[in-house]
Every structure is written in structure tokens, then in C-alpha cells.
Structure 1
Amino acid sequence: MPKTAPKAAAKPDAVKSLKKGDHVFLVDGSSYIFRAYHALPPLNRKSDGLQVNAVLGFCNMLWKLLRDMPEDNRPTHLAIIFDKSEITFRNKLYPDYKAHRPPAPDDLIPQFGLIRDAVRAFDLPCLEQGGFEADDLIATYAREAGERGATAIIVSSDKDLMQLVTDKVTMYDTMKDRRIGIAEVIEKFGVPPEKVVEVQALAGDSTDNVPGVPGIGIKTAAQLIVEYGDLETLLKRAGEIKQPKRREALIENAEKARISRKLVLLDDKVALDVPLDELAVHEPDARKLIAFLKAMEFSTLTRRVADYSQIDPSDVEADAASKSGANAASPSPAAAKAGGANAASPSPAAAKAGGATGDLFASPPATAKPGADRQDKAASVKGTPISLAAARAEAARKLPVDRTKYKTVRSLDELKAWIIRAWDAGTFAIDAQANTDDPMQSDIIGIALALGPNDACYVPLAHKQSGGGAGLFDAGLAPDQIKAADALAALKPLLESAGVLKIGFNIKFNAVMLAQHGITVRDLDDAQLMSYALDAGRNSHALDALAERWLGHAMIAYGDLVGSGKNKLGFDQVAIDRATEYSAEIADVIWRLSRLLKPRLVAEHMNVVYETLERPLVSVLARMERRGISIDRQVLSRLSGEFAQTAARVEAEIQEIAGEPINVGSPKQLGDIIFGKMGLPGGSKTKTGAWSTSAQVLDELAEQGHEFPKKILEWRQVSKLKSTYTDALPEYVHPQTHRVHTTYALAATTTGRLSSNEPNLQNIPVRTEDGRKIRRAFVATPGHKLVSADYSQIELRLLAEIADIPVLKQAFRDGLDIHAMTASEMFGVPIKDMPSEVRRRAKAINFGIIYGISAFGLANQLGIAREEASAYIKKYFERFPGIRAYMDATRDFCRANGYVETLFGRKCHYPDIRASNASHRAFNERAAINARLQGSAADIIRRAMTRMEDALAEKNLSAQMLLQVHDELIFEVPDKEVAATLPVVQHVMQDAPFPAVLLSVPLQVDARAANNWDEAH
């Protein structure tokens, strides 16, 4: 709807013919009604208690499509398409089709007629056609639009419509602001859109009562279609399938599969009652639309339409028919009884706050003066994601952050007004303030919300009076704050709604903290993870750094707010006005960054990475963090004693070798002994002038056979295990759960690997006896076992896959001992009865090559001459030339582009690969070569984690995923379910790459159950 003066119903006398470059929007109306109903909380019209939540959701969607779409992608033609309530050709083909669908909820039925009235009020085509489903009409319109050079956008997220996606047909989920293109369809089904019906025919659909083939799900179906090409070929060759159950199921149910294909295949040749040309968008009668919205009592949307149309809404009477419910069935008793408890019309405070979203990057504020220019309109967006991203980045810098516009919300009515606006907007930024760094034990001091630039507020909940909270005399809570329980109760429906997008920054912290208060946050977005998906290894992902980089804005520093040292305040002691500036600014910046970074995800083809590898993992990790894991304090206590004795013994040996008393913990004294007194080679000094005794320096000296640095390393290792784990772990036990809860960071590494902290459970050494002893302290609760599931040699398998080494790939497919096979290939030794020393050398080379080991390093590791080690490496590359080619190609690609890609499209940036410093350059070259392997492995286990809980639930298993340690997952499983759980876990992990990537090298997962982590590993 271009912004022009209002006019009467302006249906054109002549039909506007569709032309090349037009945008045809086809709304799956029947599906959207149910989505809107379930996404929004109960909203009842105050005047009569009629339930109208689905009507409101539908109206907001229509306004968004007509008014808020980017100018280059607004509909030129638009229709709302519904199912007609009668038998279609599919029922004649298969009488049980959709026979078991439950009836619509009682309080939704009255809204069906009102939604059709809404469509007419917007002056849009409201289409349905006897004998066909809405999907068939959509398929026909989409085909015709593409043939005539236009693009078609199907407004739906229904999987049944994904078969229609092409380069000219996309799907758009307005609730999640998510586009579904060819890549997203492949991610979901494992096949391109044109093969989706083949997969659905095999898998069936219990919702629509499509039979399919029993025992075959989406993943198996996709694998079969990829292998055999199409359903008919598969059914003809079903006798060739090796798995007996699968073969028999396909043979016995071949006819069901064929019928299923006819049921799911959409008819795109419908003789349309309304031609495509007649769907042209035109300006509606604004007064008629306002009359309908007033009758429905949608105050905020009424105000938006009135502001846009330059009409005083008080001059328009509410539509009498809609007001009386003449076009809707009477509300159910439950709806009538609900009255106006959750009425859609806002309080006076909400009306005052209005729709001033200040949406810099989409529509202008609802309160903007007529004719106000949109800033990204002035940026002349030309129609590509790249130009939209550039325009938003430019606009972001032009609108300064204005802290004076932030509001402090001190009453429940004010908060409810903001909540109504958030429901209406469908998205908002949130940041909760805590009094500790541990979300499992933090109080919520306040919550900030943002609906647009400079349109943010802070809700203080637990700030103390000035001067309170220190010493023996606590002055209590500051006045004029909402009770935390009341505020959280008011926010809970909004935060738990799957239809309103919550944008955060490291939102997992907030999700865990709110879950501790009984709120499960759903439908999350994370601006930090957007940045991470785009720029891993290239830029800092701290909020203040991103604000400076993208917005040109310096945020209030936390240290300036709370001070430091003895005078440092807790956040609950910060004055509320200062807390408002600080907290609302965070929410404001989060909102701006999200709007700025999202189009970059599309423009730079990183949207699939974000949507499949980053965003889904937030909720999974939040649940894992809350579960925690049990530890045995007595085991740790005994180990602390053992480690103390070992450290004392090693320290005495160090003193003896040094020949004089020294402080083993003093790097300066150690440096003076090693490089001064002993004169060992390789010494370098730090900026302070002292000798460097870093782990790398000591490692090199130890590899050369020097005993003193070897003892120092041993002392440091055992001392670290004692201080970091055996002494510290009991301090992390949660007072209520009596378990240890680590915190995972998603955006901490360049390759996509997770990191863990407070405590760090990923760095416990597994290859040393002392490290394994610590793992024995992690135990299952009574009646349960710990299950460890670990990818076997995953990076070597990925090396064989990515570098395309036929002999290695075949060895993995044949289940051979890969290290013995390598030794046989290199040294000509038969695999049978191979000496363990020969296999050990091959193992060191196999793993060393991945990490770019040098001849010097391999020589020290194997205790051989450097020349011999160099000959081994040379021979290795001669025997497996594809590995050298892979390493060279990866290094060259990274030098040219600044990044490498994993198998799943993640970009790992190494900008210093072109550094002038030779050592920096070499380090980045090795890291880039390994990143494709390590990053692909990290992506695979992320994919497994996001699927694991659903897979366990599907089998009615109560196993809980507790920890992730690089290539390993740890579960707690009831004793009686262990046997059933192990194959499910293995299957999910082994199939994790599918459907995005079909590996020719099989993944192997070793899974074992035991009473403690060490025994299970």
C-alpha cells in the first residue's frame, strides 16, 4: 500500500495485468487461522467477551504484508485462499484422507466468519473453490505467476507447500519473519523441492491420515529417494534392498505409497474461478477498514491504519454487523464466561504509549506525522538482500541512541501496556538483569524491553534503597517497583508464546534464569549468534564492540555503572534511573543489531547456518545447563590428597635438579634456572624482560629430552588438576539441585566448537591417568547410568571425505583399523599381527597431519631422528596425495578469501593468514586447514544435539542429555531404559549430517553405559 491520500474503495475499472517482475503473494488462509489462534493468548472483546485472538493475528499479518514489507518486495498481487468445507478429489481417491482431524476449538469457530470479514475489509480477494484444497489453488497461481515472469511468495510454513518452491517461488513465515527457499527445503526433507512428494509418499502423514509405508520416516525416505531417484523406480527395485524389514515393507505397501503420492501431490492445473490478473493489489477503503477494526476493538491497529490514512478514527463509526457479531457464531460459554479479562483494547497507558515503535528498518512509527519519510526508503533499496543490508547499516548509524527517551515502568498497568504492544508488534528485544554471573542462582533485578530504536523501557523489580544491602542493616527494596512475581506472571504468556519473537544477546543466560522462575522462553533469536554466524574469527562478538562497529555508538560500560574494588556495587544497588539508562540501552542496541544483521545472513548465505546450527541449540543447551550432573565429593577429596602428594614429590625432584631452593610457581625463577644457569636453547624474553616459560616453550624443551622442563610441566599439570577440579568442583555444587551446572558458550571459537566454563568440563584430560581419575567423580544418580556416546575418529573420517582419499574412504567403509591400514600402506607391513609400535607410529602421523605437525614435532613424539620423521611425512603424502592437495587447496582458498567453509556452510575466518609475520601466518594456515575438519565435526554434533530430545521423546525414553565435550555426549538414563536408549542415541548421531550432507564415509559412534563417566567413556 503506497502512502497516498485516502480514497474510497478504489477497485480499478480495468484489471491490472500481471507483468514480469511483479510479486504475487498467496496466503494460506486456512493454515494461518490456526497458527494465529495458537500463537496468541486469549483475547476477548470487552463489549461481549467474544474471542478474537485469531482475528487480531490475521489482521496484523495482512497489515504487515501490505504495509511493512520492504518496498522492493511488496505484493503487486495478493489473495487469501481458504479451504472450502466439502469433499475434494482426494477423499474420493482415499476415503480416510483427513478423516481423523479433530474439530476446531469451540472459541475459534466463531472467528472463522470474522476473519473472512477482515479480508473483505482490507478489500482483498477471499478465494475458495469447490472440489479443491487451498493448496491446489496456491499451486496453480504460483505456477502461472512463474510462467509469466513474476515471483510468487506463499505466506505459510506448511510443509505440504514446500514441493512448490523454485527459484521463483518462495515461502514466507510472517510470524518468524523467515524465508523458506530451496536450501531450507533440502535441510528439512533431504531432497530438493521437486522430490518432496516422493519423500512424503513414503513417510506418510499421520495428521492428514496419509498412509505412506509403515516404518519409514522422513530421513529413511530421503535416503531411498536420493539413491533410487523416484518412488516408482524404488518400488520396482525394492527387492534389491538389503535390510529385510525395509524391503518387505516396501513390497507389501507399494500400492499405499502410490496412493500416498497422489494424495500429497498438489494439483497445479486447477481451472481457476478468479484469474490471476484480478488479484492486483489496490488501495482499500480506509474508512471501511477502520470501521471493522473499531468493531473488533483492535485499538492499536485502528490507530495505525488511521495515522497512515490521515483519518481521525473518531469520525468513523464501528461496523454494526461486525460489532454485533452478525457474521460470527455465538461465542462458546467458555468464551462468554471469560468476559473481558484479556481484552484486546489497551489500557490508557498503552494508548498513550501507542504504536510508537520507531521501526527504523521497517515501517515508520504509527504516531509519525503524515508523509514522514522512512529512512531506509531514502536509502533506495534496489531489491536484493545485499542492498537491504547496506541500507539498514547506513540507516542505523544515522539514528543516534537517545537514552532520554527510555521509560521506567513502575506499575503493573504500565507493564501490561508494553506487553500489549509487544503482542501487537510480534517481536521485541529483551534483556534481564541479574545479581550474579550464575543464571541458575541469580535473582532477576529488572527486565528491559525494546520495540524499536529509542523505544525501550526498564522494569525494575528488586533494586534496593540507596545505601541498603550492605553490612548488617539492609534498607530493603526501593519504592515504586512491581512485585517480581506479579511482573513475571504478566510477562509469562508473552515469553512462552511461540508466535512472538524474543530477541536477545546471549539469550541463553536469560532463558536459564527465567526457567528457574517457571518461565520457558519460546521462539528465540540471538543477535550475538547472528554476528557469530557471519563473522566467526573476524570480529569481536561482545555487545559493546558490535554497537561501536555497526551503530557507531559507545555504550555505558558496566564498570562505570557499578564501580570496582571494595566500592563495587551489586546491580541491585544501582540507582533505578541509572539502571534504566543502562538496561534499556542494551535492549535498544540488541533490537537495532538484529534488524541490521538479519539481512546480512540472507545476503551472505549464512541464514541456514544460523537457523540450523546456532538458533536451535540455544534452548537445547539451556535445558542441559539446568539439568547439571552429579559428582562424588569423596572421590574428589581422595584425589586432592593424591595430587597434593604427587605435587610435593615432583617439586622435591625439581629442587634437586635445580641444585638450589626455588619457588616452582615463579616463572622468573624457573626462567633464570632454565636459560641462565642451565643454558638450554630457545630462550626468549617477555615484555617485562623475564625469560618466557610458557607451556609451548617448556613443551619444546621437554620434547628435546630435557628433564627439568619435563618435571615443571608435570608439576603444573597435577597442580592444575588439583586447583581447577578436585578442590574447586565441590564449590560449584548447586545448593538446591546438589549437582554441578556448567555454562556453555556458543560464540567462543572460530570453528563452531562449544566451550564450557564455571566450571570448564571440556578440558579435563582424557589421555592421562590423572584426568581419567577425575572423570570417575562424575556419577549417575541411584537407579540410573551415565551413557557416553562418542564419535570415533570423526576428523579422520572427514579428512577422507573432504580430501576424497579413496583408500581411506574404503577402509572406513570396510570397518578396518585405520591406523593399522595406514601403517600397512606406508611401511608395507601386513595388518595381521602388526607390531604395536608400527601402528603407534601410523596413529601419530594420522592425527598429526590433521593438526599440521612438523617433522620436529613428530620426531619428538615418536622419539626418532628428525630426518626419519621427515621421511615418514613425505612418504605419507606420497601414498595419500589427495591430502596434500586438500591442504594446499584449503590454504590457497583461505588466502584468497580470508575464510574456509565447513561441509555445512559455516565460515571460519582467518584474516591473519596473510600476516607479514611468518609465525602468525603459519599458525593461521595450520588452523585454517584443520578448521574445515574440526568445524564440520562441530556442526555435526550440533545437529545431533538439536534432534536428540525429539528422537528420545518419540521412543518414550526419559534419557536426559547432560554434557557435550567436543565429540562426545553424556546422558543420564534410567537403568531399565539403557538397552533401548543406546541405539537411538547412536542412530541420531550417525545420521546427524543428513539431509544437508550425504557422507560417503560412515560415521561410527561408540556408546557405553556405566556408573561413572570414566567407565562409560
Structure 2
Amino acid sequence: MAFGKGHNLHLIDGSAYIFRAYHALPPLTRKSDGLPVGAVAGFCNILWNEICKDHGGNGPTHIAVIFDHSATTFRNALYPAYKANRPELPEDLRPQFPLTREATRAFNVACIETEGYEADDIIATLARHAVEAGGQATIISSDKDLMQLVGPSVMMCDPMKDKMIGPDEVFEKFGVEPARVIDVQALSGDSVDNIPGAPGIGIKTAALLIQEYGDLETLLARAGEIKQPKRREVLLENADQIRLSKQLVTLKNDTPLDVSLDDLEVKLPAPDAIMEFLNRMEFRTLTRRVAEKLKITPPAPVDLAPAATLSDDPAPAAEPTAQVFNLDAYECVRDMVALNRWITRIRDRGYVAIDTETTALDEMRAELVGISLSVDPGMACYIPLGHRQGGGDLFGSSDLVEGQIPLADAIAALKPILEDPAILKIGQNVKYDWKILARQGIRMTPFDDTMLMSYVMHAGLNTHGMDALSDRYLGYQPVSIKTLLGTGKSQITFDRVAIDDAVRYAAEDADVTLRLWQLFKPQLHKARVTTVYETLERPLVPVLADMEMAGVKVDRETLRMMSNAFAQKLVQLEEEIHSLAGEKFNVGSPKQLGEILFDRLQIPGGTQGKTGAYNTGADILEDITTMEDSHPQGARLAARILDWRQIAKLKSTYTDTLQHAINPETGRVHTCYSIAGASTGRLASTDPNLQNIPIRTEEGRRIREAFIAPEGRTLVSLDYSQIELRILAHIADIPELRRAFEDGIDIHALTASEMFNVPLDQMTSDIRRKAKAINFGVIYGISGFGLARNLRIPRAEAQGFIDRYFERFPGIKTYMSDTVKFAQTNGFVQTLFGRRINTPEINARGPAAGFAKRAAINAPIQGTAADVIRRAMIRMPDAIRGIDARMLLQVHDELLFEVAEADAPRLIPIAKEVMETSAHPAVALNVHLAVEAGTGKSWAAAH
């Protein structure tokens, strides 16, 4: 039935009531995760009451909730200072705004907002439509600005006071009838909204003047007749300002809308939608009330945020309730007008989720194709910048598709907000986007990273990629990139994706990231990892990004010569291997090698895998090399195979691959560091991996000779000396080790002396080697079997070494036992800096339990060392500012710098002090951290 006589349209001032509920009601947080929801709870109760109450027979037949779209409207164009004095939103109120919109939709009520207009303008327009259609309008608000709308068919209701506001109440407030409220407000102004009015004239005086002269224009026209001099001067001197004020306070009742009155008919909420929302918000009482009204059974209380992994409980997470994503609702921003609207939204909101789309995963070679933004769940856009003709054709035109903002224009517009310290940027794996934007001249700050938030809370439990996080915590699987790019030979780059498809994919990424942030951000404090995130993870992002972008210079010719030498060495080894085997075979084939070793040479102990082929891993071959007495031919063959494999790996992984990894534009190799890889906090180097270059062999050490300094510069290596043993001495409280470190005594020689009763001056290299193996083995929870393999000695002898070690250093045994017990009880261990390392398999049985225990023992030591290095890296840029130097690489316990030759003497003492004091003041180590420094034209020479 069409809206008309007998119908009553209730218009809820949503924006005003968020604030009313926030300030009027006590604070409330969601129990499962600490999310502030007090304003949302008040808002939901008001909304439900309006749907259900009859208001003395004046209940709604139609209803809508009206929101401010943003803080900037047409009034700002008239008067830029309009509402300029409004305070910043409270931090605990900001995340509740999107939830009230979500609540409105869950209650099956129209949620209306219009860009460029205030909620009051929309209310004025809908009220006019209702009256013109023969019906009534009831405005649910106590906002004085709306009182100008009150009339015979328009009433107001203050739900907080359960009070109706009609013409009499308006006269009581303003001293004039509703039609003249605008004139009074124009004169009196409004300090809250920064409306100037007439200086010195308040509401009472304004009302008296309007009553005497009838209306504002008559008053201003006859202002010279006023007898009081000051009042007369104020009106004459400020006439234009007063007229401007009237424009500002007058509500526009012709706001463009895309809904009709008939669209606003009251409907009960859909049971599934409303129950899901209320249950997720944990509004137990309101959930029961609504369920009774709808005559359904309320759902059992559950937590949407998988409480098991967003709390101290390491158990598997509950299945999340799926969130709704409307990919067709995302906006494609094709011109500067639209982009500026989004920039305004971002400034109003104070935060934005951002994601970049590019042509490649290599940030140093990738071209920027587009940027996606999101400011509210479900409200996201994509800005295409570099899409090219050809769609799905790999060999399409290089011409840009029409209808895209020029890249330079978009970057110029976005740069101020992306560098604005008052606007938070939210991303998933921010380091990638940071580098892409840095190449466009933007240093994005400040930011939050949902990947790192997940990492600090759930290291060792889950992966932290966006798709996995979305599936786990939002119950939603995002669009797969493969559906756009394809796979294999037919795969295209993102710039060839049709823009309409790109909008749905890219904007969804920003939308998902924003929702994850809203879920994760309150959890950091509850999980007690805020300090780790704020001091060890987030500030490391720009440091690593700068290092990766700097890259390290590599001499291609040196690598080429090494590759040739390795190739010749492989040929020689193959000839020797074939001679020892007695036949030619494919040395790189584990299957053929197994048949030679265990079938032809009859070496005992061969085991077969699932494929039926013999196992020929490095550990198997190392065992065979110890059989020199019983199987000399097999022992020598196994040794040569190990040599061949090592050379082949050096050639394929490093000397060949690094040549291709040299960036043609920079002439340098740019590795990428994974922050959220290892649960202990150790960084992982990839594409290419520069951390695993072997240095125990001469061939491996030679590869570092190819890493060089440019002309006029040198490389400086600063390396922590036995940092993990020093941390062990602190954690396990080993006085002997602490004293040795403080006195500069060789720690391995000391251990050997303590264990084997050999004076330091009589120490042999063999005894020291055994002690060194035990020192480092204990940190990793090594077993007698493992130590026996490392030292190539009988297992009983190795176990005897370990037993004697614990007798001499009982604190280590106590530390290991206590750490395992803590992990078994709590499901995690911690570093000295509070990093939580989860141990999900700690109470398992079988081989998994043994590995989990060893990992738990090592994790606090290795993790603390990683945290120390992180802190040093974060502090380093400020410390060396003013020195012509930059960090290039972090490899295990070492930092590599490139520095002007003249500045190397200045760099070394400063960088050493930063590294040696990087644990303080967060942790008071009782062992001094020592750093060794070296310089040279190549990495090999510096280390």
C-alpha cells in the first residue's frame, strides 16, 4: 500500500544517537574480545523499541535510520570553519560507528545517508515527503536543530526521556514558534557547530528581536531603528555573517535520495540475520527479547571471534559465523571527483584500509596497477591506474584502458593522507605495499598490519595470509587471484585484468583487511602482546623495507667464474663417484643411488620410503661415511656424493641463481625478509635466500666474495658473539658461563675444561670441538643419538657427555625441565621480551612430542636473540643518521652495512653500542652482549 493518510514515518537520527548512547550509558565491552560496544547496545535498544512500541497509538508504519555520510558537506563550502571545533572521536567510539550501520541492516530497517549532506537534511526531506503524501512524520531525536521541522504533521520524540516534542516544547526552548527557529539560531549562532551568528546575542535576546520584528530579514532591514547602540551596531556590522549563519542552520528539504517512502515500510527483522548479529555482539538480554517477539528459540551464546585462538587458550577455534560481502557494491573510482570524495571520507574516519595491485610479486620490478581503499565494512573502492588493453590476451596492447586517473595525479592526491600522521593506514603484509608506494615517493605512516597482529597472537598455530585469516575469522573465502590471472602458460598479469573484475577482487581485499583489523586490534591487549607488536614488529617494517630497497651489490663476473669452477668440480666428482660405484648412473637420482648403495654394494640398514625407493638423505649418507672399516668403498662413495650435492647446491642455488637475481636497473640483489615466518621471531630471507649461504666450507665462504661494495665505499659486518649461549647463561642462571663471558674466556674451552677436567692451557682442538657441539646442541635440546651423529661417536659415549654436562651445569637441566612443564601447562613459551611462541604439539605422543619439547626449550633462547637483533635494527637508523651508511642485510646474528670509506671508523663504535645495548632497558641481562666488527671490500673480507 502506498504511503499516505494514516501512515506515520519514524525517522531515527542515527548519528546523534550514537553519541547520546555513548555518553549516556556506562561503558560496555564484548566479553570475548574486549571490543567496545556500549554505544551499539544503546542504539540497538532504541531501534528495537521504535519498531515495537505504539507510542500511544502513534507507532511507526514506516521507519528509517539516518546517518551522516561524512563530516564534510555543502556547508563547508559556504563556511570552511563550519563544525571545525568538533573534538576528535573517542578511540573506543570510533569502531562502533560501522557496527551501528550493521545493526540497522540486521534489524531490517533502511539505513540512509547521502554524500555532501547531513543526516538532518535527509530527515527534513523525508519529513516533507511524508507530509506531502498526507501522512505524518515522527523524528526520533532531541537535536535542537531539528525543531525547525516540527509542525501539525511532524513531531519529535526524545527516546532517552520518553518525551514528545511539539510546537509548545519548541516555543519553550526557543521562545518562538518552529517556523522562526531558524531566525533565532541565525542570530544566536552555535559554538558547538562553529556557526558565528551575531556576537553577544543569545537565544533569549534573539527570540525577543524576532518576536518584535517578525522575521530575520525584517529585523536586519530595520536594524538602524534599534535604540540600544551595541545591539544596533552588532546587527549592522554583522548582517552578512548573520545571513550566512541562516544558510548554515537551514535544513535542506530537497536532498537527493534514492529511496521512496514505500521502501521504508516497517518489517520485522529476518530471524537468522538479527540473531546472528545480536549473538555476535553478545547482547544476551536483547537477543532474548527479540527472539520472544519473533517467536523463535534464541541461539546458544557463541563468540564470533574464535576465542580459542584470540585468547590464552591454544585449543582449536570454534567455527565462525560467516560475514556477508557484496562484491557488486564496491565503487570503481575513475576520476578525481570520486577520488576526492574518498579522501574526504578517509579524513573524516581517521583510518583507511589500503591494498595495492601490481604486475609482479617483486616489489622492485612490479608496476603499480591500482589501489583499493576501505573505510567501513562493505564500503570499499578500487582506483584503476594502470590497466591496459587486451583483457585476457597476454599479448594485448600496451595502451592504457580509458577511464583511469593518471597515475601521477592519483599519487599526488593520495600522498598527503598516506603520510598524514593523524590518519591510520591499515594493511595486510604492509611491507609490500609500503615498498610499492615508496617507489612512488610516498613513505606511508602510521600503519597497522593485520598479518603481524595475527602473528604476534598466533605464532606457531596458524598461517597469517589474508585468505587463511578471512576463512578462519570471518567465515569467508575471498576471490582467488587464480580466477583472474589464470595459471601456467596462459597466466596474465594484473594490468590485463578487466577493470570490472579487478574492482570486485581488489576492493574485497581492502574490505577483508579492515574487518580483520577491527577484530584483531582489541585482541592485542587481551593477549598481552601489544608491546611486542608495537615495539618489535610494526616499527621493523620500514626498516626492512629500506634495507630490501637498498639491496646489495653483487659482482656478476665473480659469480660466473664460480659457476664455471663448480661445473668443472662436479664433472670431476661424477667421474670419481662412477669409479667408486663401478658403473655410470645419474648422481642426482636418489633412486639410482639407493640401488647402488644397498643392492649392489650390500650396505646394511637401507630403508625404503612410500615410493619403494631407498632413502638416501644426508643423514643416511653421513652414517655410511662412518663405515670406513666395514664398508670402505661405500663410505668413500657416500662422502663423494655429499660433496657433489653440496657443490651442486652452491651452483644452482647461489652462483647461477644470483646472476639472474641482479636487478637490471640497480645492479644489486634485493632480498625479501619474511617477518611472520618463524614462530621464534627469526627473520627469513627469500627471493633470493641470502641467509643460508654455507660458511663452514671453503666453497661456501667464497660465494660471499661476490658481494661487494661500490667504488669509494666499504662493507662493515657486525656480528653478535655467541648471543644464544649468553642468553642461555642469563635465563638458566649459570654463574660459570656468565663469569667466562665477562672475563673474555673461550666459552667452548671453558666447557671442555669443566666437563673433562682438562686445564685451559692443555686444551686440544678435538676436546674443544666436542664441547662446542654440546654447547650448541643443548640449546636445541639435542639427544644422545643426535650428538653421536654430529660427533661420529658411539651413542653411549655421546649420552655420557650430555649427562656430564648437566652435572656440571645443573641450572641448564632445571631450565629445560621448567620450560617444558610451562609449555605443557600453558601451550606456549615466551621470550624475555614477552613474545609468545605457541607449542601446539607439546602434549602429543610419539616423535611429535620429542620435537615439540626440543623446540620449546630452544624457543625462548632463539626468540630472545631474535628480539634483541630486531630491537637493534629498529634503533639503528636514528643512531647512524648523519653517517653516510645504510644497513643492507641481516643474516642470523649479523648485520651488514655499506658505508663511505671515510665514515667506517665513525659507524663501527656507534653501531656496536646500539647492538650491545639493544636489550636494555626492556630486559636487564646479567650477561654482556658482545659484537665483533670487520670491514672489507667484499662480504667475505668483512666477516
Q: What is the TM-score of this pair, normalised by structure 2?
A: 0.70
The CA deviation string for residues 766-822 of structure 1, in whole angstroms up to 9 with x for no partner, is 222111101111111111111111110011111111111111112112221111111
SS in 2 for 1:911: coil
Contact 1:396/1:592 (<8 A) preserved: no
Shift of 1:387: 8.5
**Residue 431 (1) aligns with residue 360 (2):** no
**Residue 972 (1) aligns with residue 898 (2):** yes
Pick one of 863, 877, 883 that aligns with 1:935.
863
Compared CA separation, residues 284 and 68, structure 1 to 2 (3 A): farther
What is the letter of the counterpart of residue 86 of structure 2?
Answer: C
The CA deviation string for residues 200-221 of structure 1, in whole angstroms up to 9 with x for no partner, is xxxxxxxxxxxxxxxxxxxxxx
Compared CA separation, residues 65 and 866, structure 1 to 2 (3 A): closer
Shift of 1:374: 7.7
What is the letter of the counterpart of residue 826 of structure 1?
Answer: M
Gaps (5+ residues) in structure 2? 1-11, 30-35, 37-70, 100-139, 149-164, 171-177, 201-247, 259-275, 287-301, 311-316, 629-634
Pick one of 744, 747, 750 that aligns with 1:821.
750
Match of 2:582 in 1: 659
Match of 2:888 in 1: 962
Match of 2:643 in 1: 714
Determine the C-alpha separation between the residues in 1 that align with 2:706 and 2:180.
Answer: 71
What is the letter of the counterpart of residue 811 of structure 1?
Answer: A
Determine the C-alpha separation between the residues in 2 that align with 1:488 and 1:465.
Answer: 22
SS in 1 for 2:521: helix
Alignment of 1:71-90 (within 5 A): none
Determine the C-alpha separation between the residues in 1 that align with 2:725 and 2:693.
Answer: 22
Alignment of 1:870-889 (within 5 A): 870-889=799-818
Match of 1:854 in 2: 783
**Residue 452 (1) aligns with residue 380 (2):** no
Shift of 1:693: 2.4
Contact 1:434/1:445 (<8 A) preserved: yes
Contact 2:394/2:490 (<8 A) preserved: no
**Residue 865 (1) aligns with residue 865 (2):** no
**Residue 922 (1) aligns with residue 850 (2):** yes
Shift of 1:700: 3.9
Shift of 1:888: 1.7
Match of 1:685 in 2: 608
**Residue 463 (1) aligns with residue 387 (2):** yes
Shift of 1:832: 2.4
Shift of 1:886: 1.3
Contact 1:381/1:387 (<8 A) preserved: no
Determine the C-alpha separation between the residues in 1 that align with 2:15 and 2:934.
Answer: 71
Percent identity, please.
46
Contact 1:533/1:606 (<8 A) preserved: yes
Match of 2:596 in 1: 673
SS in 2 for 1:785: strand
Determine the C-alpha separation between the residues in 2 that align with 1:945 and 1:353.
Answer: 54
Alignment of 1:220-259 (within 5 A): none
Shift of 1:537: 1.0
**Residue 598 (1) aligns with residue 521 (2):** yes
Contact 1:463/1:478 (<8 A) preserved: yes
Contact 2:322/2:475 (<8 A) preserved: no
Match of 1:512 in 2: 435
The CA deviation string for residues 681-710 of structure 1, in whole angstroms up to 9 with x for no partner, is 443333322222233433444455533232
Shift of 1:61: 1.4
Determine the C-alpha separation between the residues in 2 that align with 1:994 and 1:963.
Answer: 23
Shift of 1:466: 3.8
Shift of 1:617: 0.6
SS in 2 for 1:680: coil
Match of 2:9 in 1: none
Contact 2:98/2:377 (<8 A) preserved: no
Contact 1:469/1:475 (<8 A) preserved: no
Contact 1:71/1:377 (<8 A) preserved: no
SS in 1 for 2:689: coil
**Residue 951 (1) aligns with residue 879 (2):** yes
Alignment of 1:889-900 (within 5 A): 889-900=818-829
Shift of 1:869: 2.2
Shift of 1:556: 1.3
Pick one of 922, 928, 940 that aligns with 1:996.
922
**Residue 844 (1) aligns with residue 773 (2):** yes
Determine the C-alpha separation between the residues in 2 that align with 1:313 and 1:407.
Answer: 40
Match of 2:568 in 1: 645
The CA deviation string for residues 903-953 of structure 1, in whole angstroms up to 9 with x for no partner, is 11111122123333x222212221221111111111110111111101112
Shift of 1:576: 1.5
Determine the C-alpha separation between the residues in 2 that align with 1:767 and 1:629.
Answer: 22
Shift of 1:6: 7.4
Contact 2:426/2:514 (<8 A) preserved: yes
SS in 2 for 1:759: coil
What is the letter of the counterpart of residue 1006 of structure 1?
Answer: E
Shift of 1:852: 2.6
The CA deviation string for residues 835-891 of structure 1, in whole angstroms up to 9 with x for no partner, is 222222211211122123333333343343333222211111111111111112222
What is the letter of the counterpart of residue 835 of structure 1?
Answer: T
Contact 2:306/2:320 (<8 A) preserved: no
SS in 2 for 1:457: strand
Match of 2:468 in 1: 545
Determine the C-alpha separation between the residues in 2 that align with 1:421 and 1:313.
Answer: 34
Compared CA separation, residues 1010 and 313, structure 1 to 2 (3 A): farther
Contact 2:485/2:492 (<8 A) preserved: yes
Match of 1:902 in 2: 831
Determine the C-alpha separation between the residues in 1 that align with 2:937 and 2:805.
Answer: 42
**Residue 1007 (1) aligns with residue 933 (2):** yes
Determine the C-alpha separation between the residues in 2 that align with 1:51 and 1:889.
Answer: 63
Determine the C-alpha separation between the residues in 1 that align with 2:74 and 2:888.
Answer: 42
Contact 2:461/2:838 (<8 A) preserved: yes
Compared CA separation, residues 850 and 17, structure 1 to 2 (3 A): closer
Match of 1:442 in 2: 366
Contact 2:393/2:492 (<8 A) preserved: no
Shift of 1:561: 2.1
Contact 1:859/1:869 (<8 A) preserved: yes
Shift of 1:726: 1.0
Determine the C-alpha separation between the residues in 2 that align with 1:993 and 1:451.
Answer: 38
Alignment of 1:266-665 (within 5 A): 286-287=143-144, 319=189, 322-324=194-196, 377-379=281-283, 397=321, 399-467=323-391, 470-471=394-395, 474=397, 476-665=399-588
SS in 2 for 1:577: helix
Shift of 1:620: 0.7
SS in 1 for 2:375: strand
Contact 2:305/2:519 (<8 A) preserved: yes
Contact 1:389/1:599 (<8 A) preserved: no
Bigger CA radius of gyration: 2
SS in 2 for 1:428: strand
The CA deviation string for residues 416-447 of structure 1, in whole angstroms up to 9 with x for no partner, is 11111111111111110111111111111111
What is the letter of the counterpart of residue 543 of structure 1?
Answer: M
Determine the C-alpha separation between the residues in 1 that align with 2:147 and 2:722.
Answer: 65
Match of 2:88 in 1: 61
Contact 2:305/2:473 (<8 A) preserved: no
Determine the C-alpha separation between the residues in 1 that align with 2:485 and 2:523.
Answer: 35
**Residue 695 (1) aligns with residue 618 (2):** yes
What is the letter of the counterpart of residue 880 of structure 2?
Answer: L
Determine the C-alpha separation between the residues in 2 that align with 1:610 and 1:799.
Answer: 24
Gaps (5+ residues) in structure 1? 11-15, 26-40, 73-282, 292-308, 329-343, 355-371
Contact 2:392/2:497 (<8 A) preserved: no
Compared CA separation, residues 320 and 595, structure 1 to 2 (3 A): closer
Compared CA separation, residues 897 and 721, structure 1 to 2 (3 A): same
What is the letter of the counterpart of residue 792 of structure 1?
Answer: S
Shift of 1:622: 0.7
Compared CA separation, residues 600 and 793, structure 1 to 2 (3 A): same
